[in-house]
Amino acid sequence: MPIYTPPLRDMRFVMHELLKVVDDFKQIPQHADMDVDTINAVLEEGGKFAAEVTFPLNISGDTEGCKLDQVTHEVTTPAGFKAAYAKFIEGGWAALACDPAFGGQGLPLVVNQMFYEMLNSANQAWTMYPGLTHGAYAALHTHGTEEQKQTYLHKMTSGEWTGSMCLTEPHCGTDLGLMRTKAEPQADGTYKITGNKIFISAGEHDMTDNIIHLVLARLPDAPVGIKGVSLFIVPKFLVNKDGSLGARNGVYCGGLEHKMGIHGNATAQIVLDGAVGTMVGQPNKGMNGMFVMMNAARLGVGNQSLGLTEVAYQNALAYAKDRIQMRSLSGVKAKDQPADPIIVHPDVRKMLLTAKAYAEGGRALSTYCSMLLEKEHNHPDEKVRKDSGEMLAMLTPIVKAFITDNGWTATSACQQVFGGHGYIKEWGMEQFVRDARINMIYEGTNTIQSLDLLGRKILGNNGATLRKFGKLVGKLVEEEGVNEKMAEFITPIAILGDQMTKFTTEIGFKGFQNPDEVGAAAVDYLRVAGHLVFGYFWARMAQVALREIAAGNTDTFYLAKLQTARFYFAKLFPETTMLMRTARAGTKVLMDTDAALG
327-348: per-residue pLDDT in tens? 999 999 999 999 999 999 999 9
Q: How far apart are CA 47 and CA 118, in angstroms?
A: 6
How far apart are alpha carbons 392 and 366 in whole angstroms? 10
Choose the catalytic residue: 204, 443, 517, 548: 443
DSSP string, 446-486: HHHHHHIIIIIIIGGGTTHHHHHHHHHHHHHHHHHTT-GGG
Q: What percent of the chain has pLDDT over 70?
A: 100
Of residues 264, 144, 258, 265, the one with CA closest to residue 212: 144
Residue 260: per-residue pLDDT: 98
1-10 average pLDDT score: 97
How far apart CA 209 and CA 41 sit, in angstroms, is 31
What is the distance between the alpha carbons of residues 418 and 2, in angstroms, rounded to a whole number?
Answer: 12
User: Residue 419: pLDDT above 90?
Assistant: yes
Rounded Cα gap, residues 136 and 163, in angstroms: 6
pLDDT at 591 over 90: yes
The yes-or-no answer on residue 443 being catalytic is: yes
Q: Which residues of 308-337 are buried (b: 16+ CB within 10 A; e: fewer)?
A: bbbbbbbbbbebbeebeeebbeeeeeeeee
Q: How far apart are CA 198 and CA 442, in angstroms?
A: 12
The yes-or-no verdict on residue 177 having pLDDT over 90 is no
pLDDT of residue 219: 98
Provide the pLDDT confidence category of residue 295 given band limits of 50, 70 and 90: confident
Q: How far apart are CA 5 and CA 278, in angstroms?
A: 44
Express as a percent the part of the chain with pLDDT over 90: 96
Backbone angles phi, psi at 387, to 5 degrees: -65, -40
Q: What is the pLDDT of residues 568-582, one digit of tens each?
A: 999 999 999 999 999
Mean pLDDT across 286-301: 88
Q: Average pLDDT of the chain?
A: 97
449-506 pLDDT per residue, tens: 999 999 999 999 999 999 999 999 999 999 998 999 999 999 999 999 999 999 999 9
The pLDDT score that the predictor gives to residue 514 is: 97
Question: What is the pLDDT averaged over residues 220-229?
Answer: 94
Question: How far apart, in whole angstroms, are the C-alpha atoms of residue 39 and residue 108?
Answer: 9
Q: 157: helix, coil or strand?
A: helix
Q: Which residues of 113-124 are buried (b: 16+ CB within 10 A; e: fewer)?
A: bbbbbbbbbbbb
pLDDT band at 176 (very low <50, low <70, confident <90, very high): confident
In sequence order, what DSSP letters do the residues of 194-221 get, joined into one string? EEEEEEEET-S-SSSSEEEEEEEEB-TT
Instruction: Tell me the C-alpha distance between 594 and 111, whole Å.
Output: 51
